[in-house]
Structure 1
Amino acid sequence: MKKEIRIFFTALMFLTRLPVPKFTDHSQEYLEKSARYFPLVGWIVALISGLSFLVFNKYVSEDIAILASIIAGIFTTGAFHEDGFADVCDAFGGGWTKEKILMIMKDSRLGTYGVTGLIGILAAKFLLLKELPKFTPDLTDPSLNIFLNYKNFLLVLVAAHAISRLMGVLTICFFDYVTDPDTSKSKPVTSSKPSRVTVLLAIVFALLPFVFLSWHFALAIIPVLFIAWRLALYFKKWIGGYTGDCLGAMQQVSELTFYLGVLIVWRYVI
Structure 2
Amino acid sequence: MSHAFNWSLRQWQLFCLALAFFSRIPVPASTPYSPELLNQSSRYLSLVGLLLGTVQALLLLATAQLLPFSIAVLLSLVAGLVLTGAFHEDGLADTADGLGGGLSLERKLEIMKDSRVGTYGLVALFSVFLIKWQSLQALDSQAVWALVLVAGLSRATAVSLTFVLPYQQLDAVSKSKPIATSLQKRALVWIWLFVLPLLSLLPVSLALSLLVTLILCFALLFVYYRSQLQGYTGDLLGAAQQVTELSCYLVWLVWWRQQG
Unaligned runs of 5+ in 1: 137-151
Cα distance, 1:31 vs structure 2: 0.6
Contact 2:110 2:170 in 1 (8 A): no
CA contact (8 A) 2:136 2:143 kept: no
Answer with 9-18 or 226-235: which moved more: 226-235
Q: Identify which of 47, 56, 80 aligns with 1:40.
A: 47
Distance in 1 (alpha carbons) for counterparts of 2:24 and 2:238? 16
Inter-partner Cα distance in structure 1 for 2:124 and 2:144? 26
The letter of the residue matching 1:39 is S
**Which moved further from structure 2: 210-219 or 72-81?**
210-219
Q: Aligned pair count?
A: 252
Q: Report the equivalent of 1:142.
A: none
1:211 aligns with one of 180, 187, 200: 200
Scaled by the length of structure 2, what TM-score is found? 0.92
| Counterpart check, 1:68 vs 2:58 | no
Decide whether aligned partners of structure 1 residues 98 and 14 sit closer, same or farther in structure 2, where only a CA change above 3 A counts.
same
Q: CA deviation at 1:129?
A: 0.6
In structure 2, what is the Cα distance between the partners aligned to 1:46 and 1:18?
13
C-alpha distance in 1 between matches for 2:158 and 2:34 = 21
Q: CA deviation at 1:181?
A: 6.0
The more displaced of 215-224 and 124-133 is: 215-224
Partners of 2:106 and 2:122 in 1: how far apart? Answer: 22
Contact 2:57 2:145 in 1 (8 A): no
How far, CA to CA, are the matches of 2:161 and 2:215 in structure 1? Answer: 11
Counterparts of 1:57-136 in structure 2, within 5 Å, are: 57-133=64-140, 136=141
> Contact between 1:159 and 1:207, CA under 8 Å: does it hold in 2?
no
Matched, 1:268 2:258: yes
User: How far, CA to CA, are the matches of 2:134 and 2:15 in structure 1?
Assistant: 32
Residue 156 of structure 2 is aligned with which of 162, 166, 184? 166
Compute the displacement of 1:269 (Å).
Answer: 6.2
Q: Deviations over 1:148-207 (max 9, x none)?
A: xxxx53222211011100112210111111014632222111111x22321101111121
Higher mean alpha-carbon deviation, 47-56 vs 215-224, is at 215-224
| 1:46/1:157 contact within 8 Å kept | yes
| Paired letter, 1:211 | S
- The farther-off stretch of 245-254 and 155-164 is 155-164
Match in the other structure for 1:202? 191
| Residue segments in structure 2 that go unaligned for 5+ positions in a row | 1-7
Deviations 1:187-237 (A, max 9, x none): 111111x22321101111121322322222212121222123212211111
Aligned match of 1:27: 34
- CA shift for structure 1 position 23: 1.6
Q: What TM-score comes out, normalization by structure 1 length?
A: 0.89
Partner of 2:241: 251
Alignment partner, residue 177 of structure 1: 167
Query: C-alpha displacement at 1:56, in angstroms?
Result: 1.6
State, as a whole percentage, how many aligned pairs show the same letter. Answer: 37
Aligned counterpart, 1:157: 147
Q: Read off the aligned partner of 2:81 and give its amino acid letter.
A: I
Q: Separation in 1 of the partners of 2:45 and 2:21?
A: 9
Q: Which piece of structure 1 moves more, 219-228 or 82-91?
A: 219-228
**Superposition CA RMSD, Å:** 1.5
Q: Counterpart of 1:82 in structure 2: which amino acid? A: E
C-alpha contact 1:158 1:209 (8 A) present in aligned 2 = no
Match of 1:146 in 2: none
Structure 1 residues 239 and 196, CA, compared in 2 at 3 Å: closer, same or farther? Answer: closer
